[in-house]
Amino acid sequence: MATGTTQPIASQLSPDGLIAVTWIGVGLGVLFVSIRLAIRLSRLKRLYPDDYFVLVALAFLITNAVLQTLQTPHLYYTALTPRGPEIADHAVLYKKYEFAIIGIFWSVLWSIKGSFLALFWMITQGLPRYIWAWWVVAGFVVSSYIVCWLLSALNCHPPSEYFKLGGCGQPIDKHTSFISICFSTAVDIATDVMIMGIGVTIVCGTRINRRERLSLGVIFSLGIIIVAAAVVRAIQISGKAYTDMAGVAIWSVAESSISVIIGCLPPFKIFLSRHPSFAPYTSGSAGPYLQSGASSTPAKPHVWSDTPPPQRRLYQNLDFELHSRNTDIVGGAGARVNRNATLPRESVDSGRPGEIRMVKEFSVITTR
């Protein structure tokens, strides 16, 4: 068992300090999730699957904080008083909490991955080459999550010694723990990169202006921050699971909190737009649309009902997050769409196969 001199974080940070850091991370997560939901409900009037994944991640984050709070007294007693009279009870309780905390930690990260996958699923409907890529990534994400749980359970030899005093202290256990950390970090990074690849590929294949492309590229590339946090955590805790227990807890709280915050940012794309004011517009097809009422770009007479159904669904799914900017709407209580206007054929058929395009202009005629 480790001695107090080999527990640098526990020696410098008090138990109350560790608990405070844990709940500060939760507070930031709650704040960003609340803002995300406020944006979605105010603009789209409902929540979508990616929002529910974020809520699940927040629930796991809060659960993790509760368990971390309950575990902290046992962590500090085990770390700083390894030969104390009550070490048996504290060490066993520490291990039980730690097993649950590790699993919930991965659940936070993988819930955020699920949120991004849910978002990209709505966007890629009708695009076979993106859908098969989505299924490959989703399958890898699910399988890697299961393997992380299995490795966590098999760290101890034999597994029956996991919750016993003195168990999991053999050299092979420490070696297995190191392998488990390396594997889980590797698949965590790999899945983040694969998910980002889907988003960036979609943006690169979309006909939007440079500003929109840049803002969406930034949003979909934010996973790099999660990757950086995972790398830092792995470096900080590798080989220290037994000698820096509080350090492992701190870095796990940091990465999970950062993951939730990053997962909340896609709807924040509206703050990067050129025109901040929007008006909801409901087309003849189901699905959310947000149009700008501040654009001064001359509009061509395009009619949504004239767009072929397959492309209509594709444009809808894409515009769910892109929020078309170049729409001109002429207000009036009796406004109606001019259904005699036609969509130029070259604007529909001129795109390359599999290319994502947006319906950006509408014609609305006002009658008095």
Beta strands 290-292; 278-280: pairing state = antiparallel
Q: Which of 361, 212, 207 is nearest to 298 (CA)?
A: 361
The predicted pLDDT at position 270 comes to 61
- Compute the chain's Rg from CA coordinates: 25
Kindly report the CA angle at 188 between 95 and 109, in degrees rounded to 5?
65
The predicted pLDDT at position 323 comes to 42
Greater confidence (331 vs 93) lies with: 93
The predicted pLDDT at position 357 comes to 45
Cα–Cα distance for residue pair 258/237, rounded to 1 Å: 17
Query: Quick check: 258 and 226 in contact, CB under 8 A?
Result: yes
The predicted pLDDT at position 239 comes to 60
pLDDT tens, 199-251?
888 777 766 677 777 777 777 777 788 888 888 887 777 665 555 778 788 88
Cα–Cα distance for residue pair 107/146, rounded to 1 Å: 10
The predicted pLDDT at position 305 comes to 46
The predicted pLDDT at position 7 comes to 64
The predicted pLDDT at position 227 comes to 86
Q: Position 356: which residue type? A: I
Domain boundaries, the chain: 4-272, 278-365
Query: Quick check: 13 and 245 in contact, CB under 8 A?
Result: no
277 has pLDDT over 60: no
Cα–Cα distance for residue pair 294/52, rounded to 1 Å: 32
4-272 carries CATH number 1.20.1070: yes
Two structure tokens written together for 157: 């030899």
285 has pLDDT over 90: no
Query: Quick check: 307 and 269 in contact, CB under 8 A?
Result: no
pLDDT tens, 248-267?
888 889 889 999 999 898 88
Contacts of 89 (CB under 8 A, 6+ apart): none
45 has pLDDT over 80: yes
Supply the DSSP string of 259-272, one letter for each residue: HHHHHT-GGGGGGG
Three-state DSSP state, 164: coil
User: What's CA 221's distance to the chain center, in Å?
Assistant: 11
pLDDT tens, 64-103?
999 999 999 998 888 888 777 888 888 889 888 988 999 9
